[in-house]
Amino acid sequence: MARAPVLPALLCLAVLALAGGADARKLVGVYELKRGDFSIKMTNWGATIMSILVPDSKGNLADVVLGKDTLAEYVNDNSAFGPLNGRVAQRMARGRFVLDGKVYHTYINDGRNSIHGGHRGFSKVIWTVKEYVAGGDSPYITLYYRSFDGEQGLPGDLDVYATYQLTSPYELSIRTNATALNKATPVNFLQHVYLNLGGEGSGDILGHTLQLSASRYTPMDEELLPSSGRVDPVAGTSYDFRTPTPIGARIRQVKGGKFYGYDINYVIDGEGMRKVALARDGKSGRALELWANQPAMQLYTGNFLNHTKGKGGKLYEQYDGFCLETQAYPDAVNHPEFPSVTVRPGQVYKHDMLYKFSF
């Protein structure tokens, strides 16, 4: 198979970025992976998934990912449409933690807390394109980022790789790994993709059915932190998606912070690479089965969307998209009762995801 040169497939722009403490002019580009009528577009700005094009039951193609039209809009946007969040995704209480007896303070960017790695987390940096194969039987792109010691207040240098690959008809594999080079550090990644299986901009996702392989969840406080440290059963609550249930069936009975809707962490049953979720849109016939190897997953139903500018002049409203964010437990750095997210020098963090589309 001929390898495409490591150049943007559609468009590039020069961005002045701070790399390793020195100014460096780097290219930010849009890259397409295509296999038959299944394709994705992404950018090395924030390792961001910009689109996923997949047919419906009648063969009609639609983009099932909410986002923006132009690369410049992604660079200037703070809506978290599609990026890989890290070094420590999700919220961290008061932006602080203690590791090996030392107190660390990270960048506060969510009220009194930090979220998704701080104001310049992995979603706001330029990743290096290491390999890029646009077509063929198994197109892929591998991105690399060196997170430096002290970045956003976090300790140690971290080598990070993320590979996006169309592995089978209508399957997208995402494989990430990170190696701590010289200091112990917390690590938690998640891919923040807003999905609408009816097609982005087609309306709300309240009629989508959702089934989760989760019999437990971590209750959240008003700041969307698991401050109690509890892990409760979903049985008898509005968080129970163990059987296929419309997302909107009980959405007015739950709150994610100040808004009605889901913004909650589920503890996924089992271990290793396993099925996490099954979502289905009855109108289009499209379905998504999500597999991952992480202990938890955040369900977010786009509660904060409010006349948010999207693609093609569309405005995204509340509940127009949903996120299935496989992850470690939120704020695990401040909860010894949760599984540890500490990666020590020489150890490798691995987070694998598999998106299986059908129609």
Q: Is 263 annotated as a binding residue?
A: yes
Q: Which of 151, 200, 325, 351 is catalytic?
A: 325
Whether residue 325 lies in the annotated active site: yes
75 marked among binding-site residues? no
Tokens of 43: 């950018």
**Catalytic-role residue among 192, 208, 335, 351:** 192
Distance (Å) of CA 98 to CA 85, 93, 300, 303? 21, 12, 28, 32
**320 belongs to an annotated ligand binding site:** no
Residue 217, annotated ligand binder? no
Q: How many angstroms separate the most distant Cα atoms in the chain?
A: 59
192 is catalytic: yes
Annotated binding site for beta-D-galactose: 192-194, 263
- For the annotated catalytic residues, the residue numbers are 192, 325
Annotated binding site: 192-194, 263
